[in-house]
Amino acid sequence: MKHHQYALTPPMGWNSWDCYGATVREDEVKGNADYMATNLKKYGWEYVVVDIQWSEPGAISSAYRPFVPLEMDEYSRLIPAVNRFPSAKDGKGFKPLADYIHGLGLKFGIHIMRGVPRQAVHQNTKILGTEVTARDIAKPNSICPWNTDMYGVDCSKKGAQEYYDSIFKLYAEWEVDFVKVDDIADSKLYGAHTDEIKMIRKAIDCCGRPMVLSLSPGPAPLEQASLLEENANMWRMTDDFWDLWELLYNMFDRCYKWSKNIGPGYWPDADMLPLGHIGIRSVDGGASDRYTRFTRDEQVTMMTLWSIFRSPLMFGGELRDNDEWTLSLLTNEEVLDMHKNSHSARQVYRQDDKVVWTAKGDEENLYVALFNIGNEKQKVTVNLNQLDLPSSKQVHLRDLWKCKHLGSVSNEISYELSPHSAKLLKISL
């Protein structure tokens, strides 16, 4: 499928939600982009994504304000709030910010909500290139349960596809590279909005610019895997993920269930990485301004699971406040090489909160991740024949997080692991 070529490896970048909620400003976006260009770009990090409510002048946190005015053009299309994004003045939209980010050698992304703005429907504003109005295409009983900005679009109505075509035409003019569409993969009230997913796919294909399409929130239904693969590049397999051990513990089962539905250009998404300095102007995740509540062992466990499973990696913290430890998690070339180039990841087994995953590298290498997701120290073991290797064969082990060789073993690999910790190994034959 043509759109798969836009994301042949799992996308990697920064998203403003975990640290700034609905309130991020242009200077903060540029500051994080500058940091990425200097410190992360050479490791494959490239997307800078402005999350929800960028058209709301008065956004104050991640707590949505119901029925507030949004900035909008004459064709029912939301545009950036100029008080938060000054370069958008005079109708320039996000083009100047995209130019800045492209000038750093990075890519620019935005978040949007499914549907047409309610204020456009109430004001009965035009749809570009048609004689219909927002009121004509709206589906007022198709609403988001947690955000009041939009009504769904009725795909049976004349002008519905033209509306989606018009907004992606605008994003192409802004030179957007990545679009995260929310309230669509699982709407909480109605399940997946398959008709609007298909309209968005068609609109991107017609807009003249490659864009990675990310669908939220989750959990996306596994029975819709084919539809998601046919229309998107990534989709959330979870609700919002925060720095709570219970959520990380549950992610192992989600990754297991989705592990057969993954490949070049289509990536089940375990959601953002709540690392570093988060919650600056966000009230989600059960706490405000903080550094991640995950222990260092839990941070390594999260990064190991995301990387061997090959989830997209979207960092959620304020990059400029990273300490040396946090930066080290994002710049380990051996782990990132596995994330980018491995394939055929699978869970080998899960028993008594001991979990083993493996993935294939080239013909001479494979990877194995050992996890202790229990609350007590315990030994985690995997036999070579469980990895499809002869038990008698001697293999060489390398610890990818510590970047050091561990010697050779035959028959089995076994480590005593602390609670909530992981061991990530490269096996050379």
> Domain map of the chain by residue range?
2-341, 346-428
**pLDDT value at residue 284:** 74
Rounded distance between C-alpha atoms, residue 42 and residue 137, angstroms: 45
Average pLDDT over residues 420-428: 98
Average pLDDT over residues 31-42: 98
The distance from CA 53 to its chain's CA centroid, rounded to whole angstroms, is 17
**pLDDT value at residue 86:** 98
The distance from CA 288 to its chain's CA centroid, rounded to whole angstroms, is 21
Kindly tell me if the per-residue pLDDT of 282 is higher than 90: no
CATH 3.40.50.970 fits 346-428, yes or no: no
Average pLDDT over residues 236-251: 97
Q: What percent of the chain has pLDDT over 90?
A: 94
Kindly tell me if the per-residue pLDDT of 61 is higher than 90: no
Kindly tell me if the per-residue pLDDT of 286 is higher than 80: no
Kindly tell me if the per-residue pLDDT of 121 is higher than 70: yes
Mean pLDDT, the chain, as a whole number?
96
Residue 285's pLDDT band, with cuts at 50, 70 and 90, is: low
Is the alpha carbon torsion for 163, 238, 282, 141 positive or negative?
positive
Quick: pLDDT tens for 327-338: 999 999 999 999
Kindly tell me if the per-residue pLDDT of 287 is higher than 80: no
- Phi and psi at residue 270, in whole multiples of 5°? -80, 5
How many helices and strands in the chain, by DSSP H and E? 12, 21
Average pLDDT over residues 127-145: 97
H-only helix segments in 2-117: 17-20, 26-39, 95-103
> Which CATH class, in words, describes the domain spanning 2-341?
alpha beta
Average pLDDT over residues 155-164: 97
Residue 421's pLDDT band, with cuts at 50, 70 and 90, is: very high
**pLDDT value at residue 93:** 98
Average pLDDT over residues 282-305: 91
Rounded distance between C-alpha atoms, residue 164 and residue 159, angstroms: 9
Among 187-191, 256-260, 385-389, the least confident range = 187-191
**pLDDT value at residue 63:** 87
Quick: pLDDT tens for 165-204: 999 999 999 999 999 999 999 877 778 899 999 999 999 9
Among 36-40, 190-194, 238-242, 395-399, the least confident range = 190-194
Q: Name the one residue in this structure whose structure tokens are 């709206």.
A: 138
**pLDDT value at residue 187:** 73
**pLDDT value at residue 393:** 84
Kindly tell me if the per-residue pLDDT of 281 is higher than 80: yes
- Phi and psi at residue 237, in whole multiples of 5°? -100, 15
Rounded distance between C-alpha atoms, residue 289 and residue 278, angstroms: 6
